A and B are shown apart, each in its own frame.
Chain A
Amino acid sequence: MIAEKYPEEIKGILARFPNKKSAVLPLMHLAQHEYGYMSDEAMREVAGILDLDPTHVLSIAGFYTLYYEEPVGKYVLEICNDLACALRGADEFVEMASDTLGIPVDGTTEDGLFTLKTVMCLGACDKAPMLQCNLRFEENLDKEKFEQLLVRLREAADSGPAEPGVVQKVTSYAVRK
């Protein structure tokens, strides 16, 4: 339960707004970080904290692309293949990534480690090909760097939870002030 695990963070987030509803995106970021995707339970939990109808949280999850409504791998590799990146080889990069991982776009590897997705512009067009891995940017990539990234991620997965995730780090600022 995020309410029990992050009480101070949630309090800090709620204090930023004159109404509770505004906290729905930050709390969903936190819930997804905790559960890996927006499960029905996760959505009900966020709705409960904010006194919202769970269907409102469901509609938010459907509207915004960063929330996953289905389970995903431990690492979600989201490659931008929008026009600006595609002009610098992003489509070929997606193909290479798909072959290397042995999964199609939107697929997840059997070991549950990697999900591959293509996404719209991430605002890093000058560093294409690039991808976002659990909200962290990996830029100026090629086949070799992609393979190195996979090795790094596999090692990190083996050694258990290491550094805090991006969402956790950003959320911590709601408390520090």
Chain B
Amino acid sequence: MANLLLRHRDIPDLHKIDVYQKHGGYEGLKKALSISPQDVISIVRDSGLRGRGGAGFPAGVKWGFIPKGEGEKYVVINTDESETGTFKDRELSEYNPHQVIEGAIIAAYAIGARTIYNYFRGEFMDAAYAMEEAVQDAYKAGFLGERIMDSDFSCDFYCHYGAGAYICGEETALINSLQGELGQPWSKPPFPAVEGLYKKPTVVNNTETLANVPLILVNGSDWYKGMGTAQSAGVKIVCMSGHVEKPGNYEVELGVTYRQLLELAGGMKDGKKFKALLPSGGSGPVITESALDAPLTYEGLTEHGSVMGSASVIVMDEDTDMVWAALKMIHFFKHESCGKCTPCREGTFWMERLLHRIYEGHGTMQDVQTLENVANQISGRTLCALGEFAVNPVLSTIKHFPQEYRAKVKEAVPA
């Protein structure tokens, strides 16, 4: 199947507006402007498109939450791609920026927003020129600005650059950051759809989610629903990294198995044996061989105790030390904890210390139990998902690889 999101791989120079238009670009916007905002929301809702940032919330339903009527509203694109192992939104922004822009304009029309902010992580500035150039071209061509395509709809688009904070991928933290505050989440409610950016109704959508929208408008919701599975419609970009022969982004229909993904990525690096993979960057529990035939869907890994999330698949071979891998991940979450709520701030700190001691060979079985205990005390008690994510690599590696923990602590105790 030809790529729908990573179309630039088939079409050279797709970042240029004339090339994009030659290949059906901005036809989705044209279609949207010819029908009512409510009908746009219905089409996207009926397509089954769900959030591609990882949470999987139905996009059309999210748009439908925005109050109708006059008043300022905002669309915010979440390009704060910072999950370990995730690099899809960067490729889309750099090589197929118009599809993201077009999707965002359609979203703005649907909810009645006249301003779009694209929140990039500050480390992507180098890749942002393509997006900035594309925005300028879209203005010149009349797809942004006043009276878009001679309709009554007007909309502005601004790129904004973060400054290095994973937590800003969380929508309320992102909004705070955009308001010039510390990027810390707030306790919901209020939800952004009611009280978001500058206290106005706001839709925050992931970059990849929006890139699907123009095609859905052009081809219809039945066409989109025809791909993927009943609960997880459409296509998804999967970021393959770690011990595979060909790391990179792969666009697939939802429903393929993790084993097929490994094959797509050229199989295991250097012919080594597969040991485990993290299906959702650092934030989802690790899975092993027994889960490889599960489908890539939002619910596909539930029975294996994990999640698809953003589909950032980090593959590990037989030689990988799982305690080391858990320590790497907990170091990440400790560093990225925003410090606002105590269980996450203190919990990630202590989990890292404990794991470090175990990894260095100075730990005891009591430390492993304490580690589990701390993890369980974080779970369910944090303001946002970061705390939940942080316990996943710890608890899942203890569950699947207890022998590796035992071996580490055994070494420390003389027989």
| Interface of chain B residues 146 through 205 with chain A (CB within 8 A) | 158-166, 177-183, 198
Closest residue of chain A to B83 (Cβ to Cβ) is: A121
Whether A120 lies near B82 (C-beta < 8 A) is yes
Whether B198 lies near A84 (C-beta < 8 A) is no
Whether A22 lies near B178 (C-beta < 8 A) is yes
User: Which of the 9-residue segments B121-129, B256-264, B360-368 touches chain A?
Assistant: B121-129
Closest residue of chain A to B200 (Cβ to Cβ) is: A18
The one of B121, B125, B239, B332 in contact with A125, judged by C-beta atoms closer than 8 angstroms, is B239
| Cα A137 to Cα B123 with chains together (Å) | 9
CB of B132 closer than 8 Å to a CB of A: yes
| Cα A16 to Cα B197 with chains together (Å) | 14
Whether A125 lies near B182 (C-beta < 8 A) is no
The one of B84, B136, B316 in contact with A120, judged by C-beta atoms closer than 8 angstroms, is B84
Closest residue of chain A to B329 (Cβ to Cβ) is: A83
The one of B82, B89, B129, B198 in contact with A18, judged by C-beta atoms closer than 8 angstroms, is B198
Query: Within the complex, what minimum Cβ distance (angstroms) separates B76 from chain A?
Result: 12
Whether B160 lies near A136 (C-beta < 8 A) is no
Q: Which of A29, A60, A67, A121 has the most CB of B within 10 A?
A: A121
Q: A24-B180, A170-B128 are in contact. Are A29 and B198 (CB under 8 A)?
A: no
| Interface of chain A residues 28 through 70 with chain B (CB within 8 A) | 28-29, 50, 52, 59-60, 63-67
The number of inter-chain residue pairs (CB within 8 angstroms) is: 160
Closest residue of chain B to A81 (Cβ to Cβ) is: B328
CB of B295 closer than 8 Å to a CB of A: no
CB of B37 closer than 8 Å to a CB of A: no
Query: Within the complex, what minimum Cβ distance (angstroms) separates A65 from chain B?
Result: 4
CB of A19 closer than 8 Å to a CB of B: yes
Whether B180 lies near A25 (C-beta < 8 A) is yes
Query: Within the complex, what minimum Cβ distance (angstroms) separates B179 from chain A?
Result: 6
Closest residue of chain A to B132 (Cβ to Cβ) is: A173
| A142 contacts across to B, CB distance below 8 A | none
| B90 contacts across to A, CB distance below 8 A | 123-124
The one of A65, A84, A122 in contact with B163, judged by C-beta atoms closer than 8 angstroms, is A65
The one of A84, A135, A173 in contact with B126, judged by C-beta atoms closer than 8 angstroms, is A135
| B249 contacts across to A, CB distance below 8 A | 126
Q: A83-B325, A123-B87 are in contact. Are A65 and B82 (CB under 8 A)?
A: no
Whether A84 lies near B84 (C-beta < 8 A) is yes
Query: Within the complex, what minimum Cβ distance (angstroms) separates A92 from chain B?
Result: 14
Whether A173 lies near B159 (C-beta < 8 A) is yes
Whether B247 lies near A29 (C-beta < 8 A) is no
| Cα A146 to Cα B45 with chains together (Å) | 49
Whether A166 lies near B126 (C-beta < 8 A) is yes
| B320 contacts across to A, CB distance below 8 A | 87
| Cα A97 to Cα B127 with chains together (Å) | 25
CB of A74 closer than 8 Å to a CB of B: no
Q: Looking at chain B's contact residues, is the secondary structure mostly helix, strand, loop, or mixed? A: mixed
The one of B126, B127, B180, B332 in contact with A82, judged by C-beta atoms closer than 8 angstroms, is B332
| A141 contacts across to B, CB distance below 8 A | none
Whether B122 lies near A66 (C-beta < 8 A) is yes
Whether B180 lies near A21 (C-beta < 8 A) is yes
User: Chain A 111-128, CB within 8 Å of chain B: the 1/0 string?
Assistant: 000000001111111111
| Cα A63 to Cα B89 with chains together (Å) | 24
Sorting the interface of chain A by its residue count into under 10, 10 to 19, 20 to 34 or 35 or more gives: 35 or more
Closest residue of chain A to B269 (Cβ to Cβ) is: A88
| Cα A119 to Cα B331 with chains together (Å) | 11
Whether B241 lies near A87 (C-beta < 8 A) is yes
CB of A152 closer than 8 Å to a CB of B: no
Q: Which of B135, B162, B239, B242 has the most CB of A within 10 A?
A: B242
Whether A126 lies near B239 (C-beta < 8 A) is yes
CB of A167 closer than 8 Å to a CB of B: yes
CB of B139 closer than 8 Å to a CB of A: yes
Q: A21-B179, A22-B178, A60-B182 are in contact. Are A66 and B163 (CB under 8 A)?
A: yes
Closest residue of chain B to A52 (Cβ to Cβ) is: B180
Query: Within the complex, what minimum Cβ distance (angstroms) separates A90 from chain B?
Result: 10
Closest residue of chain B to A26 (Cβ to Cβ) is: B161
CB of A23 closer than 8 Å to a CB of B: yes
CB of B335 closer than 8 Å to a CB of A: yes
| Cα A63 to Cα B179 with chains together (Å) | 15
CB of A2 closer than 8 Å to a CB of B: no
| Cα A21 to Cα B249 with chains together (Å) | 37
Q: A60-B182, A63-B182 are in contact. Are A83 and B328 (CB under 8 A)?
A: yes
| Interface of chain B residues 276 through 316 with chain A (CB within 8 A) | 278, 281-282, 312, 314-316
Q: Which of A122, A124, A132 has the most CB of B within 10 A?
A: A122
- Given A50-B180, A123-B81, A128-B241, 5 extra CB contacts under 8 A: A87-B241, A120-B336, A121-B281, A125-B312, A173-B132
- Contacts from B to A (Cβ < 8 Å): 81-87, 89-90, 121-129, 132, 135-136, 139, 158-166, 177-183, 198, 239-243, 247-249, 278, 281-282, 312, 314-316, 320, 325, 328-329, 332, 335-336, 338
14 CB contacts below 8 A, A to B, read A24-B180, A25-B162, A26-B160, A29-B122, A65-B164, A82-B282, A82-B332, A83-B85, A88-B247, A123-B89, A135-B122, A173-B135, A176-B136, A177-B139
- Contacts from A to B (Cβ < 8 Å): 16, 18-26, 28-29, 50, 52, 59-60, 63-67, 82-84, 86-88, 119-128, 132, 135-137, 166-167, 169-170, 173, 176-177
